[in-house]
Amino acid sequence: MAKLNQIIAVEKGVKASSFRELTDAHHALQKPALLAGLSRTYQPKDEDGEELPAESTRVQVRAEEVLKETAAVLTRLFDVTATKDWANREAVADVVVDGAPLLRDVPVSYLLFLEKQLTDLHTFVRKLPVLDAAEAWTQDPSSDAFRTEPVRTVRTRKVPRNHVKAEATEHHPAQVEMYFEDVPVGTWTTVKFSGALPARRVNELTDRVERLQEAVKFAREEANSRDVEDRHTGRPLFEWLLR
């Protein structure tokens, strides 16, 4: 008795072979010359007439034979596919993580669906935004986000000042140079907010997805290792078609 994974393994080759042979048969039947035969003999009008050799062409392709050969090829394909599809209805397995079943008696088709979805989910989770590690973040219930501690910075304004380089004398005016001085005029208080996630949380989610992926693969392998009953659907179909 075969295993479901063995049937799945040979199905692709059977499909390719059937398609190739069906295509060859179709092309052969589209060539009238291969289906045609000829037999021609020559009889001179009198005894002194010229003798000519007989001519003949054999029929190379017989449509009825091609039909029978095609039926035999497709019967194999129909039987393999039926065996797989009937088995898929019965092949189930549990998805088990950390020794506990998350899902019970999951069919193979759904396990394959889960594998594809979890691959996409893994990509999504790994690209989740992460909080800037250069900042210290805390949960802020009022904004439902993360926030930093307030940081105060001084706001300044440039105020012009005069610097007397030389005092005025009886003969010369004072020499004065103007410059600007930064004078504190206020204080900025800055708090940063973010809707990103801590790196720890992203790593945790990634690990969970990967463990679930592994569990689904194990379940699929278990379901595909079940014994299958051979199904024979091709023969009755083609017996009816070609009768």
Residue spans per domain, the chain: 1-91+233-243, 92-136+198-225, 150-190
Question: For residue 50, what pLDDT is reported?
Answer: 86
- Is 0.75 topped by the overall pTM? no
Judge whether 26 and 73 are in contact, CB under 8 Å. no
Closest by CA position to 155, among listed 183, 192, 181: 183
Beta-bridge partners for 103 = 95
- Convert 58-68 to b/e letters by CB count within 10 Å (16 or more is b): eeeeeeeebee
Q: Give pLDDT < 50 ranges for the chain.
A: none
Q: Where are the alpha helices (DSSP H) in 105-175?
A: 108-126
Beta-bridge partners for 183 = 157
Judge whether 178 and 160 are in contact, CB under 8 Å. yes
pLDDT digits (tens, 9 = 90+) for 96-118: 999 999 999 998 889 999 999 99
Amino acid at 166: A
Instruction: Tell me the C-alpha distance between 81 and 18, whole Å.
Output: 12
Give phi and psi for 36, each to the nearest 5: -95, 145
CA 44 and chain centroid, separation: 76
Judge whether 73 and 186 are in contact, CB under 8 Å. no
Question: For residue 1, what pLDDT is reported?
Answer: 63
Judge whether 17 and 237 are in contact, CB under 8 Å. no
Instruction: Tell me the C-alpha distance between 241 and 243, whole Å.
Output: 6
Amino acid at 184: P
